[in-house]
Amino acid sequence: MVASLSYVHVTPDSPWGTYIAQVDRVIPYLGALGRWAETLKRPKRSLIVDIPIEMDDGSIRHFEGFRVQHSLTRGPGKGGVRYHPDVTLEEVMALSAWMSIKNAAVNLPYGGAKGGIRVDPRQLSLKELEKLTRRYTSEIGIIIGPHQDIPAPDVNTNSQIMAWMMDTYSMNVGATATGVVTGKPVHLGGSLGRVKATGRGVFVTGCEAAKRIGLAVPGARVAVQGLGNVGSAAAELFAQAGAHIVAVQDHTGTIARASGLDLSALLAHVRATGGVGGFKEAEALDPESFWDVACDILIPAALEGQLTPSRAQRIKARLVLEGANGPTLPSGDDVLKDRNILVVPDVICNAGGVTVSYFEWVQDFSSFFWTEDEINQRLDKIMVHALSHIWDTADRHRISLRTATFAVACERILSARADRGLYP
């Protein structure tokens, strides 16, 4: 059932509508904690800000910015900041709620939050991007902080933007506060391994899932949507493990090569041109054909709402690894289930990034930094352990990995809620 909140327009297929449907599926497994379930269907706090900046040509432009703290029950808010022309409050609400679920699923001591600015950053100069970031940070400064809510990178944001956010917050409070954001440059309190952590988590959970369904990763054919931070790191690790990257789609084009793409050459092309479009050593496909490509593993690592029922009906993969947040509609999920295609859901599959963000935050407090090997080993251990617990829950209740992840996470969030009680 779509929860009715007067301040957003929600449809069954919109991000918040998708999230609500996912919560509704888990309520039967929550027992007595179900009485608290409504708290999951309402973001605790949503901040909308106006971001005026002076452009390089002297004109003034205004942008819409958001920061939503879905839940602070288990700890400070934690979640990325997205710069995209389609960002809405409704989308940021859903992304923040998925962060609550994800953080609880891997048992990090965080609630869930997310932010975004409705902007196409490619249309801005570097100077304009810096002004936008600094003004946004100042505006949301009233609710973020190392103990309140800790932003991080998401679509179209990166370590440079985190450095500006950290600097702006620090200037406003009068002290360097490295722990206010994660995903910073390593020389500014960032963590080794953070850049590739989300892709690494996709790979680690993907290998565990492949093992369980008897799919050999060496020789497996992998199709990836989105070759940004998440998709490129996951693709590299799968290629290193002997898989063939047979198709890639991004905002500039769709390319395929049945014998496997030369990933290093492709990544160099993306760095040089900004996307996969125009890559010579591959066949160019029309965008919709991406979903028909013969493959064993499909990694949606771009945006939400991609796996519609009709696309879910056509895909050839045995295993879907959700690098992106919310890439599968609930109606698409049903089709994948009927077709016996295993989905490792976003709320566990892409939790590697926030896990290393947690490591970064812990390191910032102690000003003592770990080696990349230590980071990767701890990350792998947490991901494998969390997935195994979720898998046991799925087997016990005969439910999908998504519903099992929600069951584990909602149980943790609502137990904490019940113990804390309502104030007053």
According to CB under 6 A, which residues from 388 to 417 bind ligand NAD? none
The reply on whether position 227 binds ligand NAD by CB under 6 A is yes
CB–CB of 78/150 below 8 Å?
A: yes
Please compute Rg for the chain using Cα positions: 21
319 vs 287: CA distance, rounded Å: 21
383 vs 321: CA distance, rounded Å: 14
Q: Give least dist CB 1 to ligand NAD, A.
A: 25
The reply on whether position 230 binds ligand NAD by CB under 6 A is yes
The reply on whether position 224 binds ligand NAD by CB under 6 A is no
Stretch that binds ligand NAD, among 159-167, 322-330, 364-372, 385-393 (CB under 6 A): 322-330
User: Which has the closest alpha carbon to 95: 36, 24, 151?
Assistant: 151
CB–CB of 303/156 below 8 Å?
A: no
Q: How many CA atoms lie within 13 A of 58 on its CB side?
A: 0
Residue 145: what residue type?
G
CB–CB of 143/47 below 8 Å?
A: yes
The reply on whether position 226 binds ligand NAD by CB under 6 A is yes
Indicate the residue among 133 and 399 with the shorter CB distance to ligand NAD: 133
Stretch that binds ligand NAD, among 10-18, 33-41, 171-179, 298-306 (CB under 6 A): 298-306
Binder to ligand NAD among 22, 46, 73, 249 (CB under 6 A)? 249
Question: Is 281 exposed, middle or buried, given 0-12, 13-18 or 19+ CB atoms closer than 10 A?
Answer: exposed
Indicate the residue among 206 and 231 with the shorter CB distance to ligand NAD: 231
Helix (H, G, I), strand (E, B) or coil at 293: coil
The reply on whether position 79 binds ligand NAD by CB under 6 A is no
Q: List Cα–Cα distances, 119 to 55, 346, 366, 419, in angstroms.
A: 13, 25, 36, 41
- # residues contacting ligand NAD (CB under 6 A): 24
Q: Give least dist CB 162 to ligand NAD, A.
A: 11
Active site residues: 114
| x/- letters, 323..342, toward ligand NAD (CB under 6 A) | xxx-----------------
Stretch that binds ligand NAD, among 116-124, 134-142, 223-231, 261-269 (CB under 6 A): 223-231
CA 228, 231, 235, 237 dihedral sign is positive
Q: Give least dist CB 279 to ligand NAD, A.
A: 13
The reply on whether position 103 binds ligand NAD by CB under 6 A is no
Q: Give least dist CB 131 to ligand NAD, A.
A: 20
Task: Give the footprint of ligand NAD on this chain (CB under 6 A).
Answer: 153-156, 198, 225-231, 249-251, 275, 301-303, 323-325, 350, 353
